[in-house]
Amino acid sequence: MMGKASVQSKVEPFARRLILVLIGGLALARLAPAALTDEPLVYAIKDARVVTVTNGTLAQGTVVVRDGLIEAVGERVDIPADARIIDGSGLTVYPGLIDAHTDVAMEPPPPPAQPGRQQAGGGAPQQQTPAAPAIKLGQNADRLAADQLRPDESKLEKVRGMGVTTALTAPRTGIVQGQSALINLAGEKPAKLIVKSPVALHAKLSQDENFRTYPGSLMGVISYLRQTLLDAQHYSLEQERYKRIQRGVPRPEPDPTMDAWQPILARQLPVVFLVDEAKEIQRIIKLAEEFNLKYIISGASEGYEVAGLLRDKQIPVLVSLNFPTQPRDADPEADVPLRVLRRRAEAPKTPATLHQAGVKFAFTSGFMSEPGDFIRNAARAVKAGLPEEAALKAMTINAAEIFGVAEQLGSVEAGKIANLVVTTGDLFNERTTIKHLFIDGREIELKKAPERPERPEPDARPTVMNVAGAWSLSVETPQGAVPVSATLQQTGTQITGMLSSMYGDNKAEGSISGNRLRLKTQVNLDGQLTPVDFEATVEGTTMKGTVSVQGQGDFALTGTRPES
């Protein structure tokens, strides 16, 4: 038999090792509790002013968050023993804000290999024959925003810094742009961001592109959309006929694009039409009614002219807070049409006009370049006559109801997703700052104080950025990314240069205002010189923007310039 001393000699080393493991595990747990434990994080925001949106305002309330959800809200709430307590004295709790139409977290795929590059294994480079992008009716209808999420944390930080926790994000290229996704703006990977997908199919009327080829004009775009819907109806009839008869009937060819239109025709999925002018809104309403579509209007800077029509038709509206303004590089001596001047003056009044008419609307950033304008311009709408309560609903519960997620988002209620904004005061006060931000029940670190940046005076001239040099650009098209090499020269605010791509070498000219670059050129598409406009925001050695090709649509642009 083994002696007592022998047994003890074997047990003690094991016990010491076990104790060391336990101590090490506890130390790691203290360093990173969220990363190494499945135990849910629990918070209690105590003694704060709570603006629930749907159930009034609590002068001194408590909000308990557990496992990503709001567990309790009230003036008399028992605080769990395991909660992390946040002193809310002097603070205000709001539901997380919702941007109802943006392209946040959408990034183009990396550009393909340059044409003519030597292939792996040696041999001569393969020559590629450029082909102009062909217009296919209804193209991009099957494109899912959920499949193209490329969140950039630095950009998400700027948006979150204004209290936005959720966004409806969608592609921006083409007349038919694709299907949007509703996402929370924090998560370990893109799939974790998604709250709902798809939400809607998105389409726009591209009248401002001055098309020279089909669809060619506003009426051409309407004709394009009508023909697409007719084709989708015909495709549906062919599919149904084959399923019903089968024998003796040719099998119809599957078409993912046409398949994507079927939920639209069945009113299972709405269409978001991006339109601004009153006449565009009127024409899109006629088209939608012709095909009995479920639809939403986005943009609507001239919504003040058709508020009664929107009310009578019970059409939800996503009002852009990217109010039209005079371009900072505009010629002060140039004549501006009266309609343009009126829209600049009246657009901030659109929300109040829609509210008075009884139209349900939500707020969208409208692809603005400065995230701080989202709150600032909502405050402008309040000054123009919109009640603060209505403005807050437009950024919270209204958007949730329009997108069918009101049981999950849009208000501070027990059982909903814990997206919360904790501020130092009234949301629309320019001196208010954000102290705490929660997304999916986790507090998000605010890298820097999210104070709303001051805007320069209208007559102040922005600092002109130097964009001279060699740039490597990438233009995203439905056929893939097209690489473009740009060599730019700069004299003051005037830009000249050469753009080289698979479509040849083309001279370009334009201007720079602050960090906004605009270039114009022409490329040969199918033997015809086609105008192409570049518009981008330059930040140091990178740029991001849009390329507008007449007759083809808008395409995402990204670019880099080597460090000098």
What is the CATH number for 547?
2.40.128.120
Query: Is the domain of 260 the same as that of 392?
Result: yes
DSSP character at residue 254:
P
Query: Is the domain of 397 the same as that of 418?
Result: no
Express each pLDDT in 86-105 by its tens digit.
999 999 999 999 999 999 99
**Within 13 Å and on the Cβ side, how many CA atoms surround 546?**
14
- CATH of residue 215: 3.20.20.140
Is residue 100 in a domain?
no
Query: Is the domain of 216 the same as that of 251?
Result: yes
Phi, psi (deg, nearest 5) at residue 265: -65, -30
Q: Which domain-ending residue is among 404, 422, 437?
A: 404
Q: Kindly tell me if the per-residue pLDDT of 500 is higher than 50.
A: yes
| Portion of the chain with pLDDT greater than 70, in percent | 81
Query: Is the domain of 286 the same as that of 350?
Result: yes
Is residue 461 in a domain?
no
Residue 514 Cα to chain centre, angstroms: 24
Query: Is the domain of 360 the same as that of 415?
Result: no
User: How far apart (Å, rounded) are the C-alpha atoms in residues 504 and 499?
Assistant: 8
Is residue 331 in a domain?
no
Nearest to 361 by CA among 397, 383, 394, 385: 394
Is residue 123 in a domain?
no
User: How far apart (Å, rounded) are the C-alpha atoms in residues 302 and 264?
Assistant: 26
pLDDT for the residue numbered 492: 83
pLDDT band with cut points at 50, 70 and 90 for residue 35: very low
pLDDT band with cut points at 50, 70 and 90 for residue 252: confident
Q: Give the CA dihedral 495, 501, 503, 507, nearest 10 degrees.
A: 20
- The residue type at 269: L
Q: Kindly tell me if the per-residue pLDDT of 330 is higher than 90.
A: no
Is residue 222 in a domain?
yes
Q: Which residues contact 549 (CB under 8 A, 6 or more apart)?
A: 133, 523, 525, 530, 531, 532, 555
Query: Is the domain of 439 the same as that of 491?
Result: no
User: How far apart (Å, rounded) are the C-alpha atoms in residues 156 and 164?
Assistant: 9
The H or E element that residue 29 is part of is helix 4-31
Query: Is the domain of 173 the same as that of 307?
Result: yes
Q: Kindly tell me if the per-residue pLDDT of 109 is higher than 70.
A: no
**Range of weakest confidence among 66-75, 410-419, 487-496:** 487-496
Stronger pLDDT, 515 or 265, i.e. the higher one: 265
Q: What is the mean pLDDT of residues 97-125?
A: 61
| Portion of the chain with pLDDT greater than 90, in percent | 57
pLDDT for the residue numbered 112: 42
**Range of weakest confidence among 203-212, 353-362, 472-481:** 203-212
Return the number of other C-beta atoms located less than 10 Å from residue 291's C-beta: 17
Query: Is the domain of 186 the same as that of 314?
Result: yes
Nearest to 49 by CA among 314, 527, 494, 427: 427
- CATH of residue 35: 2.30.40.10
Q: What is the mean pLDDT of residues 208-217?
A: 52
Is residue 381 in a domain?
yes
Q: Kindly tell me if the per-residue pLDDT of 18 is higher than 70.
A: no
Q: Which domain-ending residue is among 348, 375, 404?
A: 404
Q: Kindly tell me if the per-residue pLDDT of 553 is higher than 80.
A: no
Query: Is the domain of 360 the same as that of 416?
Result: no
Cα 170 to Cα 67, 85, 100, 352: the distances in Å are 29, 37, 10, 27
Residues of the domain holding 484: 469-560
The pTM is what?
0.71
Is residue 213 in a domain?
yes
Query: Is the domain of 299 the same as that of 239?
Result: yes
Query: Is the domain of 516 the same as that of 398?
Result: no
The H or E element that residue 376 is part of is helix 373-383
Structure tokens at 271: 């269409």
**Range of weakest confidence among 87-91, 138-142, 457-461, 501-505:** 457-461
Query: Is the domain of 351 the same as that of 416?
Result: no
pLDDT for the residue numbered 27: 39
Is residue 7 in a domain?
no
Domain count, the chain: 3
User: How far apart (Å, rounded) are the C-alpha atoms in residues 124 and 117?
Assistant: 9
User: How far apart (Å, rounded) are the C-alpha atoms in residues 459 and 60?
Assistant: 44
Q: Kindly tell me if the per-residue pLDDT of 119 is higher than 80.
A: no
Q: What is the mean pLDDT of residues 118-124?
A: 40
